[in-house]
Structure 1
Amino acid sequence: MHRQELRGALFMYAKLNPGLRYIQGMNELIAPLYWLFKNDPDPVNAQYAEADAFWCFMDLISEFRDHFCQQLDNAQTGIKATLRKLMNMLQHHDYKLWQHIEVESKVDAQFYAFRWITLLLSQEFALPDTLRIWDTILSDPHGRMDCLLRICTAMILHVRERLMQGDFAVIMKTLQRYPPVDVTVLLNKAAMMAPCNEVLGSPV
Structure 2
Amino acid sequence: MFFSSATEELDAYYPIRPECQADVPVTRFKARVGKTLSPRRWNAAFSQDGCVDFAGVLRRIQKGGIHPTIKGVVWEFLLGCYDPNSTNDERNEIRERRREQYAAWKAVCQKMVPAIGSGKLITTPLNSEDGEPAQDSSSDASEQNCNGAIPNENESLDPREAQWKLNLPQIGLDVVRTDRTLVFYEEEANRAKLWDVLSVYAWVDKDIGYVQGMNDICSPMVILLEHEADAFWCFERAMRRLRDNFKCTTSAMGVQSQLGTLSQVIKAVDPKLHQHLEDLDGGEYLFAIRMLMVVFRREFSFVDAMYLWEVMWAMEYNPHIFAQYEESSELTSASGNRNDGKVSSKQLKQYGKFERVNMKTGTQEQQGALAVFLVAGVLEKRNKRLLKEAQGMDDVVQILGEITGNLDAKKALKEALKVHKKYLSKAKKPQ
TM-score of the alignment, normalized to the shorter chain, above 0.5: yes
Alignment-derived partner of residue 53 in structure 1:
231
Contact 1:28 1:119 in 2 (8 A): yes
User: Match of 1:114, as an amino acid?
Assistant: I
Please give the secondary structure, in 2, of the residue aligned with 1:18.
coil
Alignment-derived partner of residue 409 in structure 2:
183
User: Match of 2:230, as an amino acid?
Assistant: D
1:24: Cα distance to partner? 1.2
Alignment-derived partner of residue 247 in structure 2:
69
- Whole-angstrom distance in 2 between the partners of 1:30 and 1:185: 25
Please give the secondary structure, in 1, of the residue aligned with 2:249.
helix
Q: In the alignment, which of 376, 383, 386 is matched to residue 163 of structure 1? A: 386
Higher mean displacement: 106-115 or 55-64: 106-115
Q: In the alignment, which of 375, 378, 383 is matched to residue 152 of structure 1? A: 375
User: Match of 1:97, as an amino acid?
Assistant: L
Alignment-derived partner of residue 130 in structure 1:
305
1:27: Cα distance to partner? 0.3
Contact 1:66 1:72 in 2 (8 A): no
User: Match of 2:264, as an amino acid?
Assistant: N
1:191: Cα distance to partner? 2.0
Q: In the alignment, which of 196, 218, 227 is matched to residue 30 of structure 1? A: 218
Which one has a bigger Cα radius of gyration? 2
- Whole-angstrom distance in 1 between the partners of 2:429 and 2:222: 37
- Counterpart check, 1:83 vs 2:259: yes
Deviations 1:45-84 (A, max 9, x none): xx32x32321111111112212212139649xx4212101
Alignment-derived partner of residue 194 in structure 1:
421
Deviations 1:110-133 (A, max 9, x none): 532111111111011111221111
1:35: Cα distance to partner? 2.6
1:139: Cα distance to partner? 1.2
- Whole-angstrom distance in 1 between the partners of 2:299 and 2:424: 25
Between the aligned residues of both structures, percent identity stands at 23
TM-score (norm 1): 0.81
Contact 1:124 1:177 in 2 (8 A): no
Q: In the alignment, which of 266, 273, 276 is matched to residue 100 of structure 1? A: 276
Change (3 A) 1:201 1:136: farther
Q: In the alignment, which of 150, 172, 192 is matched to residue 397 of structure 2? A: 172
Contact 2:292 2:371 in 1 (8 A): yes
Number of residue pairs aligned between Structure 1 and Structure 2: 189
- Whole-angstrom distance in 1 between the partners of 2:196 and 2:424: 38
Contact 1:147 1:190 in 2 (8 A): yes
- Whole-angstrom distance in 1 between the partners of 2:424 and 2:230: 32
Q: Which has the higher helix share?
A: 1
- Whole-angstrom distance in 2 between the partners of 1:10 and 1:30: 8
1:145: Cα distance to partner? 4.8
Please give the secondary structure, in 2, of the residue aligned with 1:165.
helix
TM-score (norm 2): 0.40
Please give the secondary structure, in 2, of the residue aligned with 1:106.
coil
Higher mean displacement: 8-17 or 135-144: 135-144
User: Match of 1:112, as an amino acid?
Assistant: F
- Counterpart check, 1:2 vs 2:228: no
